[in-house]
Structure 1
C-alpha cells in the first residue's frame, strides 16, 4: 500500500458557496483536501484539485490548519447575510483516517455547535463519526448524518472501494446514531452490485434512504464515470451486467416493498436540506 503523504496548509477560506448538485445549500465545508478512502468512482478524481496535483488520488491529504477560528469568523459574517445551510463534505470525507489524529472535523463541529447554522449535513462512510456524537447531538434537528452504504456485499466493497471502511462498521454506526436519536440517512450512492437481501436490510435499519447511480449522480449522464474506467473495472470483477441505468429502476421496485415510499429519495433530492 502506498504511503499517505499528509501536508498542512492554512486555507484562504472554509465556507465555499454551493451550487449545482448542492443547490439547496448555501455553502460546502471541506475539512481536508484529498481523501485517502480513494473510491474508484469518486468524481473529484476528474476535478482540477486532483488533475493538477502530483500523486494519485488517495495517496495525499492536505490538512486545513487554523480552521476553527477561520470558520468562526466566516460563519458570523455569512449568518448576517443569509440562511446558512452547510454540506460537509462535498469533495472529501470528513472522517477519513487522518481525522483520527488531526481532529479538524471535530474542531469545526465544536464551532458549529457554538453558533449553529440553519442546517448541517454530514456526509461520510466512516464509523469514526461516532466519536463526535456528543457534539452532533447538540445540533438537534439542525443536523442530518448521511452514511454511505452502496452495497451489502463485502466482496464488492473490496473490489470497488478497497480502502473504504467495511460494511459491518457502517451498519453499526447507523444503528448507534439512531439509538442516540440523531437524524440519519443511508446513502446508497452510487448503487453497487449487491445481494438480493439488500433492500430488506435497508428496510430493517433505514429511517431514510437515498439512492443514486452513475448515470444520475455524476452530473454528466455517466460520462465522468466512463472517464474513470468504471465500466472496465466492473467487467474485470465480473460485474458487467450491473453497469446499467436499469439496475437503479429494478432496485427501487424492490426497495419500495421494504421501505415506505415517503422515506425513499432519488439522487439530488435525497441530499437536500
Structure 2
C-alpha cells in the first residue's frame, strides 16, 4: 500500500506548538496560476504555516483532511529547497538568458513563520536567488523579514508585501491570534525602508495587503490608515467565498464563526468595504490603492 504524504514526511521535533516534519521536494519553483498568474513561478519554502490564521485559504492544500483540520499545528521543511532552486534557476537562465524569472514567495505558506528563525531556509533561498536576480515578490506577515535586510537590498527588482488585514489589535487576536502585532509589522516595514540603501538601478517597493479586509473599529481607522503612508501601495480584498470541499481555496468555517462576533461589520459588509476604501483614497493621496488580483502584480 502506498504511503500517505504525512507518512512519507519524517517527524523531526516540535517547534512551539507545531509538529515539524522534513521533506525532500521534487521541485521548488511551481508554475504560477490563478490569482497570481502574473508571475512565472510560486516559491514556498515550507508547507503548512504556524500562524494558522482562521481564514487562511491555504489550509485547503494540506496533505490530507486530518492535517487540514490541524492547520497551524504542523509545518513541513523542504530541506533540499536551496539545492533544487539552484538547479531550476540555472535551467531557466539557460533557456531564457535575457529574461529574469518572476517569482512570488509565497502563495500557500509564510516564508517568515516562526520556524524560519531557526531553519533560515528562506534566507538560504534568497542567497541563491540573488545571484540570478529574479523579479521577486515576498508575501509575509512577519517582522522576521527585517533580519534579512542585508540580502534583500541586493535585489534589483523586489516588492515586499506585508499582510495587515485589520487596524485593530482585538480583531487580529480573534482572527489570527498567533500572528505578530500590527505595530510589529509596521515597524518591520519602517526598518526595511530605513536600512535598504537607495540605488538608482534598483526598484524596491513596499505594499500593505489588507487581505482579506477584516473589521477595524471606527476609533482605530484613521490612525491605522495614516500609518500606511510608509508604503507605496495598499491592497484590499474581501473574503474568499466559503467552500466546504477539502481541496478548494475558500474561507474556512472557523473564520465564518468568528465573523458572527462582528455582525456590526458583516451585516453590511459591502457598504463597510466601500467606505473603508473611500477613507484609504481620501487619507492616502500619495499611495496607490488597488483591489484584489490587480494589487498583487509586481508593478
> Shared fold by TM > 0.5?
yes
| Structure 1 runs (4+) greater than 6 angstroms displaced | none
**2:154 aligned residue:** 138
Measured at CA, do residues 128 and 262 of structure 1 come closer, stay the same or move farther in structure 2, by a change above 3 Å? closer
Q: In the alignment, what sits opposite 2:285?
A: 260
Name the CA distance, whole Å, in 2 between partners of 1:46 and 1:31. 18
- When structure 1 is superposed on structure 2, of 156-165 and 262-271 the one drifting more is 262-271
SS at match of 1:73: helix
Instruction: Answer with 239-248 or 48-57: which moved more.
Output: 48-57
- Post-superposition offset of 1:203: 4.6
CA deviation profile, 1:20-51 (whole Å, cap 9, x unmatched): 10110000000000000000000012235353
Question: What's the counterpart of residue 154 of structure 1?
Answer: 169
**Following the alignment from structure 1 to structure 2, what is the Cα–Cα distance between the partners of residues 239 and 152?**
14
CA distance in 1, matches of 2:55, 2:175: 8
Structure whose alpha-carbon radius of gyration is higher: 2
Instruction: Check conservation: 1:45, 1:51, Cα contact below 8 A.
Output: no
1:122 alignment partner in structure 2: 138
* Preserved contact between residue 47 and residue 108 of structure 2 (Cα < 8 Å): yes
Aligned residues: 264
Structure 2: which 5+ residue stretches go unaligned?
A: 1-14, 197-203, 244-248
Contact 2:42 2:104 in 1 (8 A): yes
Map residues 13-28 of structure 1 onto 2, 5 A cutoff. 13-28=27-42
Distance 1:199 1:162, change over 3 A: closer
1:213 maps to which of 227, 230, 238: 238
Q: Which of these residues, 229, 243, 255, is aligned with residue 230 of structure 1?
A: 255
1:89 to 96, 102, 106: 106
- Name the CA distance, whole Å, in 1 between partners of 2:53 and 2:59: 9
- Between the aligned partners of 2:78 and 2:191, the Cα distance in structure 1 is 29
Task: Give the equivalent residue in structure 2 for 1:241.
Answer: 264
- Confirm whether residue 3 of structure 1 aligns to residue 17 of structure 2: yes
Report the equivalent of 2:210. Answer: 188
Structural RMSD (CA): 2.1
| 1:154 CA displacement | 1.0
- Structure 1 distance, partners of 2:32, 2:132, is 20
| Equivalent position SS for 2:208 | strand
Deviation of 1:171 after TM superposition, in Å, equals 1.0
Whether the 8 Å CA contact 2:48–2:59 is kept in 1: the answer is no
